[in-house]
Amino acid sequence: MNAQRVSHRPGLRAWLGLLVVLGPVLLVAMDGSVLFVAMPKVTEALSPTADQALWILDVYGFAVGSLLIAFGSIGDRYGRLKLLMTGAAAFGMGSAGASFAPGPELLIAFRTLMGVAGATLLPSVLAVLCELFTDPRRRARAIGIFAATFAAGFALGPVVGGQLLSRFWWGSVFLINLPVVALFLILAPVLLREVRATQAGHVDALSVLLSAVGLLLTVYAVKDAATEGLTATSAGAGIAGIVILGWFARRQGRLEYPLIDFGLFRDRVFTIAIITGLLPLMAWSAAAYLGAGYLQSVLGLSVLHAALLALPGAAVLTVTCIVTPALVGRIGKRAALLTCHFCVAVGLLLLVPTSVSDGIGWYLASTVVAGLGYGISFSVVADTAVAAVPAERAGSAAALAETSNEIGNALGIALLGSLAALLFRTQGPGIAGTLSETLQLPGLAPGVISDAKTAFVTGLHVAAIVAGVLHCALGLLALRWIPKTLPGTADDGAKPLAQDMGEKTGVR
């Protein structure tokens, strides 16, 4: 059957299939960020603790990131379309449950289900695209559209959420997923064909368990220490998490089919690319979450007004993601990576002049300048990572690049968000764990409100400075480690990914 698959111009079925699979991609990306602007409403309705609020926000990203590679292997073995259908159905069920969750515990549980389902979708979509587009050039273009859609979903999540919350209750940000899921489940069996790998290795269940448990324990320790102070529980969880992650890393070196091929990190360019996939997403998620809280809870803007202020940055990010491949062909990947890190750093530091009474202009400037860096990151990370390794290891490189994005999105709130929460706890009035909780208390004196808002803004400033300094450091490291000329142009970088995915899925 493979012999009959030759490069040809994609027909109507291929382009319709692309549109169908982009629906779940957009949902997975949007649901990683849609709650940033909705959290004040969720807090008002469900009254979560500070710890629960952070879990509501980022348990989704951790579920996706910790299981992404595992589900990629499962799809290779049992069929990508079957996994896509199962994942989409589970995503719909999780969305429906989250929409009507009566309390924070159930909302966290349904967000976890959505994250597990989301982890089934992204790697399978790439494999299905390679089956639809057998011509390497058009296949690379389709993968570029996939990346742009994913980036746009991250950027538009808060905007769409703000528009919905201005008219409906908080659960509407999840309920809108259901029509897209239903349409996918109807059209996918008609337009898409099953895809399996020609040589799929087994999935090491213990590695999946170790990575997920170790990551969650470590993050729980960080969150608990930030919101409640260092306790025996948080210290024990942190130590256990680090030990389990160390066990996971050692186990990968002994497996024939590891979930993560740590040997790839011996290449400096690959290492820079993966960190570039992680760090900008950390900064973006933390800035979006804290920025939404700043606009609504500190400056007192409505949800709709806050969402509209996010539009310029979202537009810049999306356009940058689309035009970056052509730009890289002119200036090279090294210059693009340097531009990425320094744009993000400058954009984050533009948040520092914001104050309790004024800061909209600084916020807009921050999102626009940083949006340039985020868009470049989304566009070049996978391409650079794949081009840095031998062709036979391109699949592992692409999976790690995608995973770094998801883990970075979750770590931004877990680490930088927890840093801001720690500063609020230590410098605020000390009557509640978050600014939203504090402002809901009746009979607050003006001085208490001012102290609470000042503490929140201080946390925002420190988180932005820390993330900005990290990006400057990574930019300097990239300047030193990355050669002036990297192998391959933007097109050449995309081709190994497409070719490898074709080999991995049996497409020739």
* Distance between CA atoms of residues 433 and 452, nearest Å: 10
* The CATH number, out of the four listed (3.40.640.10, 1.20.1440.80, 1.20.1250.20, 1.10.1370.40), of the domain defined by the range 2-203+259-505: 1.20.1250.20
Contact predicate 383/498, CB 8 Å: no
> Please, is 254 exposed, middle or buried when counting C-beta atoms within 10 Å of its C-beta (0-12, 13-18, 19+)?
exposed
| Rounded Cα distance, 48 and 58, in Å | 14
Rounded to whole angstroms, the Cα distance separating 49 from 164 reads 24
Below-70 pLDDT ranges, the chain? 1-11, 32, 65-66, 68-69, 72-73, 75-78, 122-123, 126-127, 130, 134-141, 143-144, 147, 151, 155, 194-201, 226-227, 382, 386, 391-396, 398-399, 406, 410, 485-508
Angle at 246 between CA 242 and CA 249, to 5 degrees: 140
Length of the chain (residues): 508
> CB neighbours (10 Å) of residue 185?
15
* pLDDT tens sequence across 318-353: 788 778 877 877 888 888 889 999 999 999 999 999
pLDDT at 505: 36
Tens of pLDDT, residue by residue over 119-172, are 787 667 766 776 777 665 666 567 667 767 776 777 677 778 877 887 888 888
CA distances, 486 to each of 14, 84, 326, 423, 473 (Å) = 33, 35, 16, 42, 21
